[in-house]
Amino acid sequence: PFQMALYFCTGVLADETLFQHYALNVPFYTHFTSPIRRYADIVVHRLLSASLGARSPIKMEKEAIQKQADHCNDRKMASKRVQELSADLFFSVFVRVRP
CB 9 within 8 A of CB 69: yes
Burial of 46 (0-12, 13-18, 19+ CB in 10 A): middle
Higher-scoring residue by pLDDT: 55, 99: 55
- Overall average pLDDT of the 60-81 stretch: 92
CB 69 within 8 A of CB 8: yes
20 vs 81: which has the higher pLDDT: 81
Please say whether the beta carbons of 62 and 50 come within 8 A. no
pTM, rounded to two decimals:
0.74
Say if residue 18's pLDDT is above 90: no
Tens of pLDDT along 23-69?
888 888 887 777 777 888 888 888 889 999 999 988 889 999 999 99
